[in-house]
Structure 1
Amino acid sequence: MNRNLTKLAVPVGVVGIILLLVVPIPAVMLDLLIIVNIMLALVTLLTTMFVKKPLDFSVFPSLLLVATLFRLGLNVASTRLVLGDGYAGQVIEAFGHVAVGGSIIIGAVIFLILVVIQFVVVTKGAERVAEVGARFTLDAMPGKQMAIDADLNAGQITDAQAKDRRAEVSAEADFYGAMDGASKFVKGDAIAGIIIIIINLVGGIAIGMLQKGMEITDALNTYALLTIGDGLVTQIPALLMAVATGMIVTRSNAEADMGSTASTQLSQSRYALTIAGSAAILMALIPGMPIFPFLIVGVALIVIGQRIKSGETTKQAAADASLAAEKTAPRSDTPEDLIEQMRVHALEIMLAPDLVDMVSGASDDLLARVRGLRRKIALDLGVVVPPVRTRDSVELPASTYSIRIAGVEYGRGLAPSGKVLALGEALDGLPGVVTVEPVFGLAGKWVPSEMRHSAEMTGATVIDPVSVLITHLSSIISLNAARLLTREDVRVLTDGVKQVNPSAVDDLIPGLLSLAEVQRVLQGLLMEGIPINDLPRIYEALSLRAKTSNDPEGLIEAARQALGPALTVQYLDGNLLRVIMIEPTLEQSMLEGMRPSEQGTQIMMDAAKIETVLSSVRTSVAAVEASGLSAVLVCAPALRPAVRRLVSTQSGGLPVLSYQEVTSANVTIETVGVVRGAESLSA
């Protein structure tokens, strides 16, 4: 029942306000409504002082509109009574007598002062603050959303917390946008109040003289008193609402109400209070100044400052005791805490203590850059990179970072704060620390940030520390994408394929291959740097191959053949593909020596013959690279997996393609080298 009454209170009140604009009301009811109006404004103002953040009073813009309409309705009702009956209730008459105080001029001056305070000072300032607050809140909204996403990607908050924070950011933007518009109600109310006062005064004098035959002085005294009283009973609550508007839009999020926050922050410096107290005592010594008021205020400020000093000493002692207790307190050993401590994170960035400023929320914030990297890798490789956990480690040397996968360090580098990495040859004239870029092995030097322009003038490439770390992280993720692809990731990717191409999934999983077998195939593709973002085509190729054999090596080759053109295009120079062939006799010998093993097919040959083949591969690759070019090694499809395993560790990552993969694309092939065996070389 109470809930229903609460829901109906505002709609019924709005309907009553509309009736107030049309239907005359007796003076007794007007008195009651004026008192309600004043108390509503006072309660609203006090509420704005006790809320901890603006969103705790999110109904304020709507309440401001209703209160403004209510005051305008009272203005109309009081004007009808003033002009019609020459009497508008005891409240208006009492306010008029108090303000006038026996003199119409004094009452008019006081009323004008209140109007100036409300319209020129409070209303104008509140309107400007609301406008600026709305603009900056809306401008900051994308940055706040990115910060939330960065915290979510870094694992610092959960999905539920991220959802709540996004909703709070959206609500904050809506609130300040509404306040920008609602502040115009306050300004319009002030203008309307001034116009209504003028109308009441002029109309009252005219009615008194023309209709009631009153002398001009009598009419002026009567209607001026009522007009000033009417203006006060509406302008005072309007002033309170204007102050409340300014209060709510100038409040920032705090842990306490305004009174507690103001008293705490004003008394946070004992030096400020002591100096102010001393200044008050000195001002008391100026001839002609009242001595006792200045002495009382000055002594009070000095006493408060000394009490703050003793309080600070007590707080510091308590803080030291709390810190000592925290250090000696045993760590929690609940099962949940132990499980969290035991958990191995897929990706971690360990930072030396002096590098924690990288995680700062600025435009070059590490977490924001990691989020962008995750998106880029997802688009390039088709792999959803797990959230990257970032934390500091006192075990790392200064300015050092460490990148870990499943708790194992895969890379380490330097990213000193206040410096940039310059890569070039003419760096001897610049101060700094000589280093080697961790990804490409380029010689460089860490130079002070203020020398950035000087380094660029030498022709060097200048990179900031966050970019160095992100480039290193990108390289490690790309090289270990197969290790990062989990069974759960495969399930999520498969569900995504099923939404757009259900037949490709239904034909393959689980009838022909299990999720684990599909994961193994995808990991095999990633190990060779092949993107898996074209999953529908991969799944269709696996469905055809799995009907005859579920051998992992054969499945991987079937997927590669389906992706043939996409594999070749990344090695093209325009429309030209440079290849290194295997001498036919040697290739036939390799095919005859192929044997299955647990790691896949292997080429069974004498160690001397294998070394000769590898030496010939290195020679061919060196000759191509000496010309500033690049090439791929091609061979028979059945031989390709074994050849790749054979040469992968000896040729600097030379790509190995099959004849079918090369010919599937419409390219021009140029042979730039031939791999020969011992017989060919001796001949």
Structure 2
Amino acid sequence: MRSGDAFLGLGVILIVALIIVPLPQVLLSIFLLVNISIAIMILLSSLFSQEALDLSLFPTMLLITTIFRLGLNISSTRLILTTADAGEVIRAFGEFVSGGNLVIGFIIFLIITIVNFQVITKGSERVAEVSARFTLDAMPGKQMAIDADLNSGFIDETMAKTRRKKIQDEASFFGAMDGASKFVKNDAVAGLAISFINIVAGIIIGVVTLDMEFTEALSTYTIMTIGDGLVSAIPALLISTATGILVTKSQADSEMSSIILKQFVYSPIVLYLVGATIVALGTFTPMGLVLTGPIAIIWFILGNRLQNAKNVQDVKEEIATEDVQAEEIRKPENVINLLQVDPIELEFGYGIIPLADVNQGGDLLDRVVMIRRQVALELGTIVPIVRLRDNIQLPPNVYSIKIKGVEVARGEILFDHYMAMNPGYVDEEVDGIETVEPAFGLPAIWITESKREIAEVRGYTVVDCPSIIATHLTEIIKSHLAELLTRQDTQTLINNVAETHGALIGELTPKLLGLGEIQKVLANLLSENISIRDLATICEILADYAPTIRDTDVLTEYVRQGLARAISKRVFIGPSNKVITLDPNIEQLIMGSVQHTEQGSYVALDPQVLQKIINKLKKEINKLTSIGLQPIILTSPIVRIYFKQLTKQYIPDLVVVSYNEIEQSVEIQSVGMVSVG
């Protein structure tokens, strides 16, 4: 233990001992002056501090000074009742304030005590209570903002820890101040009680024990009581004022005096109007200009000085603004930060904040981390950091998903409810609010906690609100992975493969294919939810065909054929799988309409013919979906890519595979054919 801590502990013990051990008059007078000095020090420290946390130990100091003051009260009471004399300090306060008139002295003492108790102490107590409540209520939003900035990379882990600690310290401080303000309030009550006891008990002791006349006893003990009360009330008043200043203080970088001057005397017109009002009072009331004139002149002089200072400041600001503008023009790179767009954003209204706040049991942040890991394992690509933030412009229970700054999806949840979905074979209904599941557009109902178990027993699929948002976000990320994959991400993936397949990567890039061409092939695969996790195999296939083929769409088809096992496992689930095939005439028609350009190949098909093909395709698809089967279109290898291009605009999620992408062990059965005959 350090010596400072030992002295602090000894000092607290001695303060408590004041309640028990009698003090001589001289030592009591010294302690009373020390008490006044400490109160002044605390008041000035709270006044000059820039923020409340600068005096984070203020609640502890409040308790110690309260005990010290009560100990001195008890010691002075002991001296007053035993010797009718409590020292020079108490006598001086009593005689100076009373001025020879006990009634006036007592009234002034009573006024000071009432002002301290009813005005300052109660006001400080209420402000501390409200500050504590609002600080605690604001913690989730602040914590969430820190986590969002950390996930977005705006701050590092060290800065996040520092900001979290500051939030926790603020909550602890205002919570402690809420309780510590009761010390000041109850101390004022105790001071009134002690003063009443001193007067009543002193008169009784003086008359009965010391054989004093009633008037003599009244005068002696009243003066001592007034002095004792004022010696305690004035430091209590100072500390109460310090408490009120501290709990009402907002964080500021400048000194409090300059801030007050800027905020309340921000315009010379204010001072001019004040001076004119004082002149009007002297002119139209009996006060007279002799009394009000000098005060008005002072306000006019201050207003003139403020006007001159403001003019100088305006000139400086104008020059500074011109310099800054010139500097901004000379530095075009200063707007780069404004041009950054987050790849993925999840914004939500304030009603969803508890789902993302760890302190309230929310796990949405953890789910976002798991989504990135899940997509990386499932599709083998890098998912950008998802930025989470609240948006007061959104309705309370609405969330918005943005890709590269543009909203692509939106959903609404019903807080404290669950979403129940009928898998299709449940006949019994459950009471609830009809809605639509946002990720897949399935019909659903909102149910309360009390009906959750009933719905699960009847066969409904029941999910909570965080799962709804997480599922929706996962599907949106998967559907946009192709555009989220950047050249930098591609380079990272290739570097990862190069650690174990250096010769392969050295042969492939940049000799055969550029980084952008590899990115295009990977994006083509991701656009149809084909995993690129086996990137080594993909690079092997590209290295085989790249010497003769540079068309990235054709290279993608060769890669798909090389990934036949993975594609078959993903697309074909059962032992026997039903598919829809294309009429050979349509395939020939499509191949005859293919146009090859330097930018790639495309199909220039007659719009009427295309519309007939799409209509026929939709009819065949409805046959499968009506019996609960996923529609799969089977084409020849050379046609697959072009048929997918034709149907992507009309049926974006349609699964189109070629014969070469089916593993030999998979059994298929054609249940329909798309034709225009």
Range of TM-score over shorter length: 0.5 to 0.7
Q: How far did residue 340 of structure 1 move?
A: 10
Q: Is 1:256 equivalent to 2:254 in the alignment?
A: yes
Q: Superposed, which structure 2 residues align to 1:190-589 within 5 Å? A: 190-329=188-327, 347=342, 379=371, 382=375, 384-386=383-385, 479-484=479-484, 526-529=526-529, 553=560, 558-559=565-566, 580-582=579-581
Q: How far did residue 281 of structure 1 move?
A: 0.3
Q: Aligned in 2, Cα 1:321/1:475: closer, same or farther, shift over 3 Å?
A: farther
Q: Aligned in 2, Cα 1:659/1:42: closer, same or farther, shift over 3 Å?
A: same
Structure 1 equivalent of residue 597 of structure 2? none
Structure 2 equivalent of residue 447 of structure 1? none
Q: Superposed, which structure 2 residues align to 1:602-641 within 5 Å? A: 618-623=614-619, 633-634=631-632
**8 A contact 1:579–1:670 mirrored in 2:** yes
How does the TM-score come out when normalised to structure 2?
0.64
The alignment partner of 2:580 has SS state of strand
Structure 1 equivalent of residue 137 of structure 2? 139
Q: How far did residue 140 of structure 1 move?
A: 2.2
Q: How far did residue 41 of structure 1 move?
A: 0.7
Q: How far did residue 129 of structure 1 move?
A: 1.1
Q: Deviations over 1:2-49 (max 9, x none)?
A: x94444443222111122222222222211211111111111111111
The one-letter amino acid paired with 2:527 is M
Q: Deviations over 1:561-614 (max 9, x none)?
A: 66569x99xxxxxxxx9965126999999xxxxxxxxxxxxxxxxx999x9999
Q: How far did residue 274 of structure 1 move?
A: 1.1
Q: How far did residue 294 of structure 1 move?
A: 1.0
Q: Aligned in 2, Cα 1:361/1:545: closer, same or farther, shift over 3 Å?
A: closer
Q: Deviations over 1:407-447 (max 9, x none)?
A: xxx9799xxxxxxxxxxxxxxxxxxxxxxxxxxxxxxxxxx
Q: Deviations over 1:242-282 (max 9, x none)?
A: 01111111111222222221122222122222111111101
Q: How far did residue 117 of structure 1 move?
A: 0.7
Q: Deviations over 1:365-401 (max 9, x none)?
A: 9xx9xx99997797497364336699xxxxxxxxxxx
Structure 1 equivalent of residue 655 of structure 2? 656
Q: Which of residues 180, 183, 200 is equivalent to 2:181?
A: 183
Aligned-partner Cα distance in 2 for 1:240–1:80:
25
Aligned-partner Cα distance in 2 for 1:48–1:258:
10
Q: How far did residue 232 of structure 1 move?
A: 0.8
Q: Aligned in 2, Cα 1:136/1:412: closer, same or farther, shift over 3 Å?
A: closer
The alignment partner of 1:314 has SS state of helix
Q: How far did residue 95 of structure 1 move?
A: 1.1
How does the TM-score come out when normalised to structure 1?
0.63
The one-letter amino acid paired with 1:481 is L
Greater displacement, 648-657 / 157-166: 157-166
Q: Deviations over 1:639-673 (max 9, x none)?
A: 8987753432111235226799x999xxxx99774
Structure 2 equivalent of residue 647 of structure 1? 643
Q: Aligned in 2, Cα 1:38/1:171: closer, same or farther, shift over 3 Å?
A: same
**8 A contact 1:41–1:241 mirrored in 2:** yes
**8 A contact 2:269–2:303 mirrored in 1:** yes
Greater displacement, 278-287 / 206-215: 206-215
Q: Aligned in 2, Cα 1:221/1:82: closer, same or farther, shift over 3 Å?
A: same
The one-letter amino acid paired with 2:287 is M
Q: How far did residue 163 of structure 1 move?
A: 3.5
Q: Superposed, which structure 2 residues align to 1:78-97 within 5 Å? A: 78-97=76-95
**8 A contact 1:487–1:515 mirrored in 2:** no
**8 A contact 1:374–1:385 mirrored in 2:** no
Q: Aligned in 2, Cα 1:71/1:204: closer, same or farther, shift over 3 Å?
A: same
The one-letter amino acid paired with 1:89 is G
The alignment partner of 2:284 has SS state of coil
Aligned-partner Cα distance in 2 for 1:273–1:343:
42
Q: Would you say how many aligned residue pairs link Structure 1 and Structure 2?
A: 532
Q: Aligned in 2, Cα 1:372/1:133: closer, same or farther, shift over 3 Å?
A: same
Aligned-partner Cα distance in 1 for 2:65–2:221:
26
Aligned-partner Cα distance in 2 for 1:378–1:552:
29
Q: Deviations over 1:38-75 (max 9, x none)?
A: 11111111111111121222221111111111111111
Structure 1 equivalent of residue 32 of structure 2? 34
**8 A contact 1:42–1:240 mirrored in 2:** yes
Gaps of 5+ in 1: 351-358, 391-402, 414-472, 494-504, 533-537, 569-576, 590-606
Structure 1 equivalent of residue 68 of structure 2? 70
Aligned-partner Cα distance in 2 for 1:197–1:474:
72
Q: Deviations over 1:85-114 (max 9, x none)?
A: 322222112111112221221111111011
Q: Aligned in 2, Cα 1:87/1:221: closer, same or farther, shift over 3 Å?
A: same
The one-letter amino acid paired with 1:82 is I
Sequence identity, in percent? 35
**8 A contact 2:203–2:214 mirrored in 1:** yes
Greater displacement, 615-624 / 237-246: 615-624
Aligned-partner Cα distance in 1 for 2:136–2:311:
43
The one-letter amino acid paired with 2:45 is T
Gaps of 5+ in 2: 357-362, 377-382, 390-401, 409-472, 509-518, 543-557, 589-602
The one-letter amino acid paired with 1:656 is V
